[in-house]
Amino acid sequence: MKHQTILELNGSDIPDWPMYVGGGWVASVDGAWADVVCPSRAGTTLARVPSGTSADVDRAVAAARVAQPAWAAQHFTARQRALLKVADALEANAEALAVLTAQDTGNALRTQARPESATLVALFRYFGGIAGEFKGTVLPAGDDQLQYTRVEPLGVVGAILPWNSPLMIAAMKIPAALVTGNTVVVKPAEDAPLTILRLAEIIGEHLPAGVLNVVTGRGSTVGEAIVQHPDIDKVSFTGSTSVGRHVAAAAGERMAHVSLELGGKSPSIVFPSAATPDRIEATAAGVLLAMRFTRQGQSCTAGSRLFVHEDVYEQFLEELTRQVSALKVGDPLDEETDMGTIISAKQHQTVREYIEDGKNQDGVRVVLDGTELATEGLDGFYQGPTILAGVQNTWRVAREEIFGPVLVVIPWREVDDVVAMANDSHYGLAAYVWSAQLDEAITTAHRIESGWVQVNQGGGQVVGQSYGGYKQSGIGREFSLEGAIEGFTQTKQINVKLSS
């Protein structure tokens, strides 16, 4: 079964989707618009969104600033009620949001877009549920002193999003910022802004005007204006390490709070005990999932460097290749599709350049090449799964984040060597360890320099877990109570002299 596109739903006209500022829908101050291209129907424009400038950011920040004190002053149960209502509204619209995600991002509806929309709902519900946990402490300072802390919001938060799973990443920021009493200005990625605008529409009616604002536009204008804006107290950024480095420097210059969720080149380590006849199929399925093939590898947590022990190298590669080859690449709206499209022509080209580079290395073994994928009847940015074996950890394809469906496989013999190779990266976001032996699995997990290590499973983040990067994969934590405290609050100490 296939779902209709926005264009089919709207007739032949390309709809204009204004942005959401101060509780209303507006064009950009200077009236410019930008096309949003459908990645699974190359050359087709899904909609136009305002191409904002710093004037639009000014307007949104002013609205957020006005709304913030009253939003923060309420009893926490008022924010809790609002977030739980939002969660219910999002759940009621979950399927429509998933269909829109498939069109806007190219992520396949069944394998990707629906789980993303479900995570969005879960995160609003989770943060609504813990609204009362952002509380201070009282120091036992004697009868003549009342010394306590207040956990206070930062103020106005600027949230900058990437395109790879916009709803899920918005959900890592918006509910955590709101529940702690902040107001928010969101900037979606220019390649995939539609789900975020629809999100604002659904959320908007449950929040006071100005509490949530969405400004669309380019990173170099709207994103930059958010980072530089003197009235934005915190920049919460998810995107590439190169842009993140600039964001951190610019925000640091004006002493704004900043958190960064950046890139990754995460190791996936297979021990022989995970590739015995009774386990090999499940381990390969887990490695496939961890690689995020079904999101076209466009995931910061993709286990894209696969280290397989020499004793099981050939049989594991064979089983993995069998499973990966069976993935159906196709129209993201088709229920049969496992893997949709790359986001844009530019990213498509970048992925192919990396594959070419890998294929040109001495000693590489091209196990699966998704470049020659038959895409009859399809005209999007399709790229099939690709596996390059016999790779060395020093090659570009093993060091740089490709952000495409390209898995590199590296053999190993000694545990110390594989741990050293896994850690020989400027990234440290996620990692995966596959072993049937508890001791080797846990000790290896502890030795890996990553913010998140999974053992014998390769799925996505779950609500309440700590999530964030080591090294150049980021600063700060999301998805969790501790992440929200660290990321969206500041502590005020009050010391009062009491007279008896």
38 in active site: no
Residues contacting ligand NAD: total by CB under 6 A: 30
Asked if 267 touches ligand NAD (CB under 6 A), the answer is: no
Lay out the sheet containing 474-475: strands in order across: 24-26, 19-21, 212-214, 183-187, 156-160, 234-238, 257-261, 474-475
| Contact pick of 247, 287, 308, 398 for ligand NAD (by CB under 6 A) | 247
Structure-token pair, residue 142: 């004697």
Window of 48-56, 117-125, 157-165, 319-327 that interacts with ligand NAD by CB under 6 A: 157-165
Asked if 189 touches ligand NAD (CB under 6 A), the answer is: yes
| Contact pick of 52, 155, 162, 460 for ligand NAD (by CB under 6 A) | 162
Which residues touch 41 (CB under 8 Å, ≥6 apart)?
5, 379, 380
Asked if 264 touches ligand NAD (CB under 6 A), the answer is: yes
Select from 277, 310, 264 the least CA-distant residue to 449.
Answer: 264
From the CB of 128, what's the least distance to ligand NAD, in Å? Answer: 22
List % helix, strand, coil for the chain (3-state, nearest 5). 40, 20, 35
Select from 41, 51, 43 the least CA-distant residue to 19.
Answer: 51
| Contact pick of 239, 286, 303, 384 for ligand NAD (by CB under 6 A) | 239
| Contact pick of 82, 87, 214, 227 for ligand NAD (by CB under 6 A) | 227
478 in active site: no
| Contact pick of 81, 246, 399, 447 for ligand NAD (by CB under 6 A) | 246
The catalytic residue among 300, 319, 401, 478 is: 300
Residue type, 117: S
Of the two residues 298 and 444, which places its CB atom closer to ligand NAD in the complex?
298
Asked if 219 touches ligand NAD (CB under 6 A), the answer is: yes
Q: Mark out the alpha helices in 205-290 (DSSP H runs).
A: 224-228, 241-253, 280-290
Identify residues 394-433 at the interface with ligand NAD (CB under 6 A): 401, 403, 429
Select from 351, 331, 364, 472 the least CA-distant residue to 404.
Answer: 351
Cα dihedral 42/44/47/52 (nearest 10) = 60
How far is it, in rounded angstroms, from Cα 226 to Cα 215?
10
Asked if 223 touches ligand NAD (CB under 6 A), the answer is: yes
Q: List own/partner pairs for 29-32 with CB under 8 A and 24 or more apart.
A: 29/53, 29/55, 29/56, 29/59, 30/55
Q: Are 469 and 429 in contact (CB under 8 A)?
A: yes
Window of 16-24, 143-151, 183-191, 359-367 that interacts with ligand NAD by CB under 6 A: 183-191
| Contact pick of 122, 169, 170, 422 for ligand NAD (by CB under 6 A) | 169
Element (H, E) at 238: strand 234-238
Of the two residues 239 and 332, which places its CB atom closer to ligand NAD in the complex?
239
Of the two residues 171 and 312, which places its CB atom closer to ligand NAD in the complex?
171
Of the two residues 128 and 223, which places its CB atom closer to ligand NAD in the complex?
223
Of the two residues 137 and 220, which places its CB atom closer to ligand NAD in the complex?
220
Identify residues 456-475 at the interface with ligand NAD (CB under 6 A): 469, 474
- What are the φ/ψ torsions at residue 315 (nearest 5 degrees)? -65, -35
| Contact pick of 111, 180, 238, 450 for ligand NAD (by CB under 6 A) | 238
Of the two residues 239 and 411, which places its CB atom closer to ligand NAD in the complex?
239
How far is it, in rounded angstroms, from Cα 56 to Cα 222?
8
Q: Which residues would be at the binding site for ligand NAD (CB under 6 A)?
A: 160-164, 169, 187, 189-190, 219-220, 223-224, 227, 238-240, 243, 246-247, 261-264, 300, 401, 403, 429, 469, 474
Looking at the annotation, which residues are catalytic?
A: 261, 300
